[in-house]
Chains A and B, each alone.
Chain A
């Protein structure tokens, strides 16, 4: 690359460089992408997905397909119910499930298929119902919920694959268990805030 070419790239880079826009303005993106981003931008949802994903991945491949299928079905049922915007608050359930999943990861008991299935089903359902979009209607609402469904399922699979991969060496298994204890600590703290008389619980706040 010649000096001239370097200089032109440099000039162009200087012209186009500007302040970083770290936070997406939700009103500027379409419904489907909004839905896709919803579980990523709601910390409580993301925390639960990470916890359940790590829990299922930690258990290895035994019954994994069945449990993931149950999670997907429960998510779809939850999202279908969210269509009618039943208006129930699910933050406490979501945080409780995160705490339980994190604790199971940290303790790492040997047999807990039933626990895993129950937690996965409840997690899928509560995440689905809690993804309600009260202000949207018709196709817009459908596309948003479709985006959320896809994101929820993928966000479960990523930590699951990671925990499954991190199941070979001692330090890897320890790292997963430490992550579980962190999830429990975070969830218990915010749960305490939710059940105390403090005025607000901002677990659902999307960045503006």
Chain B
């Protein structure tokens, strides 16, 4: 019986190792558009830090902020994206993105609990900068719709990462960990602003 399992495991392991490289994604068409959109927020540390901070802050504030912020962000981000697509410049986009990490990270680190409306306005204001940065890339995408789907999904999943980590606030040690996480994000934001990171 044991030998039989061992053979099966060996066979499965060999097949996994032998698996040839998939050539499905070639950077063109739908797949190329989706992948480039999906990777755009992930490949920028500043975007990652800010998106995770949105989820983290939402979870820290608890319901309904936990879901209102991740709903508000993509909606307002789309407006920023539309401005970017139309080629309307917004001053200091990169500074705004870096500042979003500083401010949102600091909100978590210092356990700031503003009314939900204020929190939504703060998050929405920064979403404009992130949306604009994504939007300016949109016309060059292999497939703009697939690119949009990719980057909105990616942004949402980064929020989810923040929410998941933020749920640790239910435990005393977890609250410290979440606030420390916020502090790290704020520090990273300072690094983005000063050009150190």
Residues of A within 8 A of B (CB): 1, 3, 6, 9-10, 13-14, 17-20, 22-23, 41, 43-44, 47, 103, 106, 170, 174, 177-178, 180-182, 184-186, 188-193, 196, 198-199, 201-203, 205, 207-208
Contacts and interface: CB of A to CB of B under 8 A. Distances in A.
Chain B contact patch, size range: 35 or more
B79 interface: yes
A196 B85 contact: yes
Given A19-B23, A22-B31, A43 B156 contact: no
23 contacts: A3-B3, A9-B11, A17-B18, A22-B22, A22-B24, A22-B31, A43-B143, A47-B145, A106-B75, A174-B67, A177-B71, A181-B72, A182-B153, A185-B75, A185-B78, A188-B78, A190-B138, A192-B83, A193-B144, A196-B87, A201-B144, A202-B144, A205-B30
Contacts of A199: 139
A84 B91 CA distance: 49
Nearest to A103: B75
Contact of B29 (A13, A201, A207): A207
B179 interface: no
For the residues of A in contact with B, the DSSP-based class is: helix
Interface of B: 3-4, 7-8, 11, 14-15, 18-24, 29-31, 33, 63, 66-67, 70-72, 74-75, 77-79, 81-83, 85-87, 134-135, 138-139, 142-146, 148-149, 152-153, 156
